């Protein structure tokens, strides 16, 4: 009885749900958390969690460990390694949506609810990857992982920087990457993985649209130079876009033609020795 009461109290608010999801070291909880509560806590005091809980199944990758090249994806193990990395990207994205909902508690509730909807999408994507990994004969934890997003995204000091990096940056770049990897998986004969990438890419359009809308709300427009200023160092558009740029998908996500033109043409300023 005491345990049941404690659990009920722990998830009385979205905030406690988000904090538990972040800090949990239980792989089952990460992939299938309990239902989201209906209300947020009344406090607006921000909570910035420094690092997520990591299940023991997830082993950190060694420096220099890289994903297989597209031509290698005909081998089941290499496809599994790529899908495992994508699963871990989704995990980090889900966690960072929770992180932002706690770190930016003074933002409108509509924004924070949108973050949690995206979090649940990312968890759904995790399950898709996990299920297909099983059909390939592999499990979560069979390959090492790298918390690359976590080492950088919490540098965001305000919600404008967060939507600039996470939604208009990393998730927008996935509009290109999902299309590219769908083609790679299809060429490797894995139609299930290809369709999965296309589905996830379609979901990302809504995520990018959400970020772009809030960026416009807070800055007055979808201006490339304002976006560039919002990116915390050392973030650069060079790592937040694929090649070729998914112009149509990004436009459906609310990015203006002027923004996309500047993004496509962007070249970092050369830095001399005296810089």
SS3 state at 215: helix
- For the stretch 157-191, pLDDT in tens is 999 999 999 999 999 999 999 999 999 999 999 99
Length reported for the chain: 275
Position 2 in a domain: no
- For the stretch 82-104, pLDDT in tens is 999 999 999 999 999 999 999 99
Question: Which two tokens mark 62?
Answer: 């060694």
DSSP state of 171: I
Number of domain units in the chain: 1
Where in the sequence is the domain holding 248, given as residue range(s)? Answer: 74-265
The candidate with the shortest Cα–Cα distance to 80, out of 142, 148, 161, is 142
The set of residues, in sequence order, having a beta carbon less than 8 Å from that of 82 and lying 6+ positions away, is 67, 68, 73, 181
Q: Is residue 51 over pLDDT 90?
A: yes
User: What per-residue confidence (pLDDT) applies to 9?
Assistant: 39
Q: Which residue, chain included where needed, has tokens 């000091």?
A: 157
What is the average pLDDT score of the chain?
93
Position 22 in a domain: no
Q: How far is CA 143 from the centre of its chain?
A: 19
Q: Global pTM?
A: 0.93
CB 122 within 8 A of CB 22: no
Position 16 in a domain: no
Position 41 in a domain: no
Position 10 in a domain: no
Top pLDDT among 132 and 12 is at 132
User: What per-residue confidence (pLDDT) applies to 273?
Assistant: 47
Tell me the H-state helices in 136-232: 159-162, 172-187, 191-219, 224-230
Work out the average pLDDT over 3-26.
77
Q: Is residue 231 over pLDDT 70?
A: yes
Position 270 in a domain: no
Q: Which CATH number does the domain housing residue 258 bear?
A: 1.20.1260.10
- For the stretch 186-218, pLDDT in tens is 999 999 999 999 999 999 999 999 999 999 999
248: how many CB neighbours lie within 10 A of its CB?
A: 11
Question: Which two tokens mark 44?
Answer: 């607006």
User: What per-residue confidence (pLDDT) applies to 83?
Assistant: 98
Position 31 in a domain: no
Q: Is residue 6 over pLDDT 80?
A: no
User: What per-residue confidence (pLDDT) applies to 65?
Assistant: 85
Position 15 in a domain: no
SS3 state at 124: helix
User: What per-residue confidence (pLDDT) applies to 3?
Assistant: 36
């Amino acid at each position: 009885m005491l345990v049941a009461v404690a659990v009920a109290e722990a998830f009385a608010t979205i905030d406690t749900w988000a904090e538990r999801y972040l800090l949990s070291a239980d792989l089952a909880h990460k992939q299938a958390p309990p239902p989201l509560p209906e209300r947020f806590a009344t406090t607006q005091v921000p909570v910035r969690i420094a690092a997520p809980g990591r299940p023991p199944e997830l082993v950190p990758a060694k420096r220099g460990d890289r994903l297989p090249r597209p031509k290698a994806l005909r081998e089941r193990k290499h496809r599994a390694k790529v899908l495992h990395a994508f699963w871990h990207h989704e995990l980090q994205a889900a966690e960072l949506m929770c992180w932002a909902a706690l770190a930016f508690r003074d933002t409108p509730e509509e924004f924070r609810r949108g973050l949690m909807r995206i979090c649940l999408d990312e968890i759904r994507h995790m399950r898709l990857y996990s299920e297909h990994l099983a059909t390939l004969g592999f499990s979560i934890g069979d390959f090492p992982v790298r918390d690359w997003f976590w080492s950088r995204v919490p540098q965001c000091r305000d919600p404008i920087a967060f939507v600039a990096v996470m939604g208009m940056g990393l998730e927008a770049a996935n509009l290109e990457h999902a299309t590219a990897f769908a083609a790679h998986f299809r060429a490797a004969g894995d139609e299930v993985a290809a369709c999965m990438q296309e589905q996830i890419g379609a979901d990302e359009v809504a995520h990018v649209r959400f970020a772009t809308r809030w960026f416009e709300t807070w800055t007055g427009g979808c201006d490339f130079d304002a976006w560039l200023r919002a990116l915390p160092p050392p973030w650069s558009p060079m790592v937040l876009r694929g090649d070729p740029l998914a112009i149509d998908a990004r436009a459906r996500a609310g990015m203006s033609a002027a923004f996309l033109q500047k993004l496509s043409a962007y070249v970092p300023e050369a830095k001399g020795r005296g810089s």
